[in-house]
Amino acid sequence: MMNCCGLITVQKEPVPLQSIEVELEVKDHVATVVSTLKYQNKEDKPVEAVFVFPLPGDAAVCHFSAVIGQKEIVAEVKEKQEAREEYDDSLSSGQQAFLLEESEQSPDIFSMKVGGLAPGESASIRLEYVTELAVQADDGLRFCLPAVLNPRYQPQGSEGASVQVFSVPASLVPYTLCFCGRLFSPRPICKVESSCSLEPLQYLNTDQTQATVKLAAGHKFDRDVELVIYYKDAHQPTAVVEAGQTSAETGTLMGDPVVMVSLYPEFPQSVMSSVASCGEFVFLMDRSGSMGSSMNSKERHQTCIMSDRDTLLLLLKSLPMGCYFNIYSFGYNYEHIFPQSVEYNQKTMEEALKKVEEMEANLGGTEILKPLKHIYSQRCIPNQPQQLFVFIDGGVVNTKKVLCLVKKNSSCHSCFSFGIGEGASSALINGLAKEGGGHAQFITGTDRMQPKVIQSLRFALQPAVEDISVTWGLPKGVSVTVLSPPITSIFQGQRSLIYGQLTGQGAASTDATDGCVTVRCSLPGQPLEMKLVFSVRPAVDTGLTVHRLAACTLIRSLEMEDREQQHGGMKEKVVQLSVQSGVSSSFTAFIAVNKADGKVIQGPLVRRNIQLTVENKKNDNSVFFPKTNMVISASSLDVIGCKEATAPKQPPRDPLLQLVSLQKASGCWILDPDLAAALGKTSEEVTSEVWATILALIWLHGFKMDAKEEWELLAMKAASWLRAQNAPCVPECVDAGNALLGCSLQKDALML
């Protein structure tokens, strides 16, 4: 076999992309990312390099430039068709040109064309974007540099051509990545966690409010670069006022000061101690072929669909009595366990769990629009607010159409979304939660799905927040135009962001006084008010980060409104705002043309498609059918007679899940030899339901505290059941249970 080296594709063609350097700067919860892509044409003819790559779905791309030799060419934002024509015309006339545009179907996919690289010539492309860091349920701030772009499923009959992605396995990607970051915070930086190997965190000052982070040597292109940043005393309410651009006209978004308000609501303990006992919980599970892949390289026996089944077990055991539920699964088609949502009780829970055990990754493609339409067509159940949980491991071409549907139905439900594995579409996962007024989670690397999903269930079980209003108190002569969509949901400890454009004669004054913003809402039995006082005096030397994030927020809102109206009408406003702010949109593109040196590129251009990492979500012996997104694995071929079938060896079940599986819908455990076995005892030692339930609680608290986030809700249900029994023997049972299991827990620790 011939050994090949250098810049080559799997077809042994030269690739002009040599390296990618990424510089990250995080200030509190806002990230600025600068990527430098270095190209060199080593061929004897001019080339056009095409690179399709992912970015965070909510990123505001605000700079695109190229350095040829000693000259920098800075791109302009223009209407997309105009930019494309200018690019084509420039190449036709022998000029160098560079084009960057966002996919019309999904805002997290970009394509870049580097046209007219002469033989032996080098070019350095600089791309800059800003993005908000999402708050995780454990108070960490998540940054993700997408390195994996999975093929996006395109439903039959959908409009528009899908973006063509040229991808190879990570081991064959012929360019390098260098990544480093600088972190700045008003509070100490506690730690940084990552799914990738990092060098030790380096602090830059004694109070640990500044630090640098770098990827360890030898990073492979087999995963996204994910960082979770933890601050001490995290998430304090803040407001930043940024001065407008001096060259921009007063009265425009870029010319006026802009305020970014970050609020973190804290609910009273009396409210948080109660758990909602109503609601309609709908679980929508991805069962496409790729869900049969391993969750991570360290635990290859645990597939995504197996983790889904374990997660559904915990979810169903944690639901409160009196609620309603249903489970849908989807691939190319969709299925449901019940024709419509049913009341949660022992019978319906057992029926659902039986069907869950039979779930496999065998439904083909990833068509999520059909089941969503069906779910939204169902009659709402009075006094049972709908909570939709969506699990998906990839993306779809029609992302914007899906999000438009979710927003259209946002008044009657909340949507909690979960991206499983590398390459899950951030635009889809974050967009589902944002438009559905819920919360998004990503399960990558060695993350366990269960604790993150149960954390989101906690949000869904929080008391409903109603009558949300925002009022401003500003100095005389200063007014505000709110640029963010209205706040439709509030969760304990989760950030609410508000952008506002400050106008009036006193808005840009250095003598401006304090202003305030107040958010009011109603919780069951009591009102809640969050008030933040801030100086309206613009901060010094903050750049235009807040303006660009505000522009991106407004652009996304106008684009959504344009799709909802169907006949359009917002495109002109979006183009005007995009050009004015220098922030990308689905209707615009960055275009740069090298006109200065007067050189003409001789000869026809040869197109070279830059390979991107694709996650290998199938076994090595699998066959992938791209048009259907179906996977036939080696084990499937066994079954149809290609070779002798052998039953896969099943790993032993987790003792925690074994115990959880025996709990009843009411919260109790009953006399059962299986329960005794799960506790490591004999049937003679487990003699009543109260005794059995107390033993189960002691075992959970005594031996599974490391997984408390997973079982705490079902333990609360068990404790509630015990209190309802009014059994006088509870203290004695707790003492006896401690003695039997070798623990020393107090009754209060068991919530009794």
Which residue ranges of the chain lie beneath pLDDT 70? 1-15, 148-175, 220-222, 271-276, 296-300, 506-512, 566-568, 596-652, 683-687, 751-752
Tell me which residue of 147, 746, 8 sits closest to 444, measured CA to CA: 147
Distances in Å between the Cα of 301 and the Cα atoms of 138, 327, 349, 649, 650 are 27, 25, 27, 9, 8
User: For residue 365, what pLDDT is reported?
Assistant: 82
Distances in Å between the Cα of 412 and the Cα atoms of 1, 13, 430, 459, 645 are 61, 53, 19, 17, 49
Rounded to two decimals, what is the model's pTM?
Answer: 0.83
* H-helix segments, 13-105: 80-92
Q: Which two tokens stand for residue 187?
A: 């509070």
Q: How many helices (H) does the chain have, and how many strands (E)?
A: 16, 36
Distances in Å between the Cα of 425 and the Cα atoms of 106, 212, 447 are 9, 28, 17
Q: How many residues does the chain have?
A: 752
pLDDT in tens, 486-505: 988 888 878 889 999 999 87
679 contact partners, CB below 8 Å, separation of at least 6:
659, 686, 695, 696, 699, 741
pLDDT in tens, 194-235: 988 899 999 999 999 999 999 987 776 667 788 999 999 877
DSSP codes, 215-226:
BPTT--SSS-EE
User: For residue 633, what pLDDT is reported?
Assistant: 32
User: For residue 220, what pLDDT is reported?
Assistant: 66
User: For residue 598, what pLDDT is reported?
Assistant: 56
User: For residue 74, what pLDDT is reported?
Assistant: 94
**Distance of alpha carbon 183 from alpha carbon 251, whole angstroms:** 34
User: For residue 606, what pLDDT is reported?
Assistant: 59
Q: Which two tokens stand for residue 69?
A: 């030799």
